[in-house]
């Protein structure tokens, strides 16, 4: 049943090709049908392959399909090969499953947009690139997908490029990602140099066989992780994700919540042998994850743009996933990725439905009391919020708990404490969002109120389905307290995730941890209720009491400004200096300084009156002198 798994990425690719070539001539209805169908077909094959994988014994894993030998020259080899193993199988299910629902949702959301065909072309192209990323059997293929999703993300963020901010946001995302990619690429080079292959199986075997030292492993792992911080929006490269919200909302749901931004987590899980071997790289991952989680959550507290709250929340939740990976619980990290894909895309799509209902309003201060107008959006939104807040029996609770329990069990108490603190913040800002949007008095613009309506079925049906999965997805990985061996998710991943050592906590401790996380979630919600329902004056008082802190948070710690001054401006400055001073001025200096030479050349060259040739010749001569000077002295 796994024979045709390699077709999964190529169906969206084919669809993209058709849309690129003939898209403008095809009717709108057909375009959306084809785009959705292509992803659905991929989803169907993913499901079949998944079932096939369940029946395959561990010795036959991973199943590799070598499409053709891509680069074969000397010691440098890479095949265009796809692989199916539990990890890639889960990712394909998420990408195509959630992707399909978002495609369907887009049919309704983008219905009146001029760039309808262009939109679906990009979306299919993205699906293709993302599938290549998760299915590649070596680092080079993975990198190709990695760059591909970056490119699509750029195209889709800047989709409404006539909006200046959108074009800029796209550029920012692209360039920040390139910084991470540069480090990622260096890491790949090191692996090729010291292991001689980019195939994951070979790398894992080589590390097991002691091909590289621990120090080198740490270096490589950190380089790869820097790549992950770019793609997955972690400190220090997270700044692009909030701006990326300029793109259409379904794109935010697909790319900037469910799939692409979690690619970094996938990559770290894929390279788990390396990270575990290094040890210190793992600690770094955990700490960066924990700090990012809290840092981003604090920024979410003060935002008024509904999508930006969700964007910071995504950064924060990915921080959790990295905590999981960093403490060695890769399966838990992947589990959170899995559940997060459902509830976060649900939240985004529901937010999109709200925005759609209000004719494009993003500011939560201008919403309120929408509960009764949006009878389907409201409950689904609420389910998403409960899931992410970590209330028991919904998916987010189980995955978050698995991560925090592992952190505690591995003795990373600081990381655990940060995680718990972040959980309070999460519950608070999510319910702040819910209360501001759906409760309280109506603060709508009169114009928006006139058109207020629930969204069409193409949009609400995906919401309902995602809400369903946000509830049940957690039950594939139940904690030990419920019963032994109920963590199907973890066991399924075992062939890929090489557990170094598993620490078991006593059942009492496990219960305690669970109760703590439930308590903090409830506390967070309660505070939000007090602040925004019971006594709406409190937030204003707090702002008045701590204006500095509020300003700091509201301006997102001024990180953008700092980066601008430090990096962007200095690069531009550097360019100016090199161009103005080196290419133009230094030469003048040399000319003035060495009158004799100038005269000599001046006589010869002034005849041509070009003005600059003498300078060029002089810099040439300067180069000669420096070069010979270097060689001789």
Partner 1 sequence: MNTIYALFPVLIIVAASLLVMILEVFLKREDRSYLAYISLLFLIAAAAGCVKFWDKGYSYFDGNLSLSNLSLFFCFILIIATFLVILISMKYLTLQNANYGEYYVLLLFALSGMIIMVSSSDLIVIFLGLEVLSLSSYALAGLRREDEKSNEAAVKYFLLGSFASAFLVFGIAFLYGATQATAIPSIVEGLQSGSSFGTLGLVGLGLVVIGFGFKVAVVPFHMWTPDVYQGAPTPITAFFSVGPKAVGFAVLLRIFIPYFKDALESQLMFGLLWIIAAITMIAGNLIALRQTNVKRILAYSSIAHAGYLMVAILAQDTQSLVFYLTAYLFMNIGAFAAVIALGKKDHEYLELEDYKGIGFRYPWIGATFAVFLISLAGFPPTGGFLAKFYVFSAAVRQGLVSLVIIGVLASLVSVFYYLRIIIYMYMKEPSYDVEINIDNPSLFLALFLCLYGVLQLGIFPGNILVLISQAVAALPF
205 near partner 1, rule: CB under 8 A: no
d(CA 135, CA 46) in angstroms, rounded, equals 11
d(CA 580, CA 561) in angstroms, rounded, equals 26
d(CA 555, CA 298) in angstroms, rounded, equals 11
Closest CA to 409 of 483, 499, 339, 497: 499
d(CA 252, CA 307) in angstroms, rounded, equals 9
| CB of 172 vs partner 1, minimal distance in Å | 11
Of 27, 162, 210, 592, the one binding partner 1 (CB under 8 A) is 162
Q: Are 127 and 374 in contact (CB under 8 A)?
A: no
Choose one: 143-151, 254-262, 368-376, 420-428; the region binding partner 1 (CB under 8 A): 143-151
Q: Are 477 and 402 in contact (CB under 8 A)?
A: yes
**Residue number, 593 or 608, with CB nearest to partner 1:** 608
Of 158, 250, 390, 524, the one binding partner 1 (CB under 8 A) is 158
Q: Is 603 helix (H, G, I), strand (E, B) or coil?
A: helix
**Residue number, 30 or 620, with CB nearest to partner 1:** 620
Of 109, 126, 192, 398, the one binding partner 1 (CB under 8 A) is 192
Kindly determine how many residues on this chain lie close enough to bind partner 1 according to the rule CB under 8 A: 61
620 near partner 1, rule: CB under 8 A: yes
Binding positions for partner 1, 82-141, rule CB under 8 A: 140
628 near partner 1, rule: CB under 8 A: yes
| CB of 420 vs partner 1, minimal distance in Å | 38
What count of residues does the chain have?
633
Choose one: 6-14, 356-364, 378-386, 614-622; the region binding partner 1 (CB under 8 A): 614-622
Binding positions for partner 1, 48-87, rule CB under 8 A: 68-76
| CB of 161 vs partner 1, minimal distance in Å | 4
Q: What is the 3-state secondary structure (H, E, C) of 277-325?
A: HHCHHHHHHHHHHHHHHHHHHHHHHHCCEHHHHHHHHHHHHHHHHHHHH
| CB of 579 vs partner 1, minimal distance in Å | 5
d(CA 146, CA 359) in angstroms, rounded, equals 34
Of 208, 375, 411, 574, the one binding partner 1 (CB under 8 A) is 574
Binding positions for partner 1, 583-612, rule CB under 8 A: 583, 605, 608, 610, 612
Closest CA to 429 of 540, 525, 506, 329: 525
d(CA 385, CA 379) in angstroms, rounded, equals 10
**Residue number, 176 or 466, with CB nearest to partner 1:** 176
| CB of 185 vs partner 1, minimal distance in Å | 6
Of 193, 363, 365, 535, the one binding partner 1 (CB under 8 A) is 193
**Residues whose CB falls within 8 Å of the CB of residue 249, separated by 6 or more in sequence, listed in order:** 109, 307, 348, 349, 351, 352, 355, 356
Kindly report the number of other CB atoms within 10 A of residue 303's CB atom. Answer: 22
Choose one: 312-320, 521-529, 557-565, 569-577; the region binding partner 1 (CB under 8 A): 569-577
Footprint of partner 1 (CB under 8 A):
68-76, 140, 143-144, 147-148, 151, 158, 161-162, 167, 170-171, 174-175, 178-179, 182, 185-186, 188-190, 192-193, 571-572, 574-576, 578-579, 582-583, 605, 608, 610, 612-613, 615-617, 619-620, 622-624, 626-628, 630-632
């Amino acid at each position: 049943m796994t024979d045709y798994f390699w077709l999964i990425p190529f169906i969206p690719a084919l669809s993209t090709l058709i849309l690129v070539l003939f898209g403008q001539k095809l009717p709108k209805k057909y375009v959306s049908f084809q785009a959705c169908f292509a992803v659905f077909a991929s989803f169907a094959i993913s499901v079949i392959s998944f079932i096939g994988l369940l029946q395959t014994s561990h010795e036959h894993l991973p199943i590799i399909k070598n499409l053709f030998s891509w680069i074969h020259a000397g010691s440098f080899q890479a095949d265009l090969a796809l692989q199916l193993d539990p990890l890639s199988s889960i990712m394909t299910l998420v990408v195509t499953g959630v992707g399909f629902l978002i495609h369907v949702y887009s049919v309704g959301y983008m219905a009146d947009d001029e760039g309808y065909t262009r939109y679906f072309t990009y979306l299919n192209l993205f699906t293709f690139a993302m599938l290549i990323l998760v299915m590649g059997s070596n680092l080079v293929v993975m990198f190709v997908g990695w760059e591909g999703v970056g490119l699509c993300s750029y195209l889709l963020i800047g989709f409404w490029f006539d909006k200046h901010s959108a074009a800029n946001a796209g550029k920012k995302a692209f360039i920040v990602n390139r910084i991470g990619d540069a480090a990622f690429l260096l890491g790949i080079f090191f692996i090729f140099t010291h292991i001689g292959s980019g195939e994951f199986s070979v790398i894992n075997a080589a590390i097991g066989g002691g091909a590289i030292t621990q120090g080198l492993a740490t270096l490589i792992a950190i380089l790869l992780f820097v790549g992950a911080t770019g793609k997955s929006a972690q400190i220090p490269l997270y700044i692009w994700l909030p701006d990326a919200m300029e793109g259409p909302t379904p794109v935010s749901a697909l790319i900037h919540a469910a799939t692409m931004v979690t690619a970094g987590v996938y990559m770290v899980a894929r390279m788990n042998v390396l990270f575990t071997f290094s040890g210190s790289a793992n600690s770094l991952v955990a700490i960066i994850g924990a700090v990012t989680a809290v840092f981003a959550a604090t920024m979410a507290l003060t935002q008024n743009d509904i999508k930006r709250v969700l964007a910071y929340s995504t950064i924060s939740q990915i921080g959790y996933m990295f905590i999981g990976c960093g403490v060695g619980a890769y399966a838990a990290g992947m589990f959170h990725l899995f559940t997060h894909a459902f509830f976060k895309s649900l939240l985004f799509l529901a937010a999109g439905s709200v925005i759609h209902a209000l004719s494009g309003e993003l500011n939560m201060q201008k919403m309120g009391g929408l509960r009764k107008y949006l009878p389907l959006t409201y409950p689904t939104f609420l389910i998403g919020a409960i899931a992410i807040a970590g209330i028991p029996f919904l998916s987010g609770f189980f995955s978050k708990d698995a991560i925090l329990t592992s952190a505690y069990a591995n003795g990373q108490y600081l990381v655990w404490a940060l995680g718990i603190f972040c959980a309070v913040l999460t519950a608070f800002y999510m319910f702040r969002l819910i209360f501001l949007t759906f409760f309280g008095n109506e603060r709508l613009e009169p114009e928006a109120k006139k058109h207020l309506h629930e969204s069409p079925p193409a949009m609400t049906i995906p919401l309902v389905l995602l809400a369903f999965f946000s509830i049940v997805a957690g039950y594939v990985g139940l904690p030990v307290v419920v019963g032994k061996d109920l963590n199907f998710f973890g066991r399924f991943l075992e062939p890929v995730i090489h557990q170094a050592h598993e620490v078991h906590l006593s059942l009492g401790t496990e219960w305690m941890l669970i109760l703590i996380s439930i308590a903090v979630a409830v506390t967070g919600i309660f505070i939000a209720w007090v602040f925004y329902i019971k006594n709406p004056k409190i937030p204003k008082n707090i702002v008045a009491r701590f204006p500095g802190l509020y300003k700091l948070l509201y301006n997102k710690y001024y990180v953008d400004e700092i980066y601008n001054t430090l990096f962007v401006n200095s690069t531009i400055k550097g360019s100016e200096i090199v161009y103005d001073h080196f290419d133009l001025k230094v030469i003048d200096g040399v000319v003035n300084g060495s009158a004799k030479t100038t005269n000599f050349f001046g006589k010869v060259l002034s005849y041509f009156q070009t003005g600059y040739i003498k300078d060029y010749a002089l810099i040439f001569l300067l180069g000669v002198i420096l070069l010979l000077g270097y060689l001789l002295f």
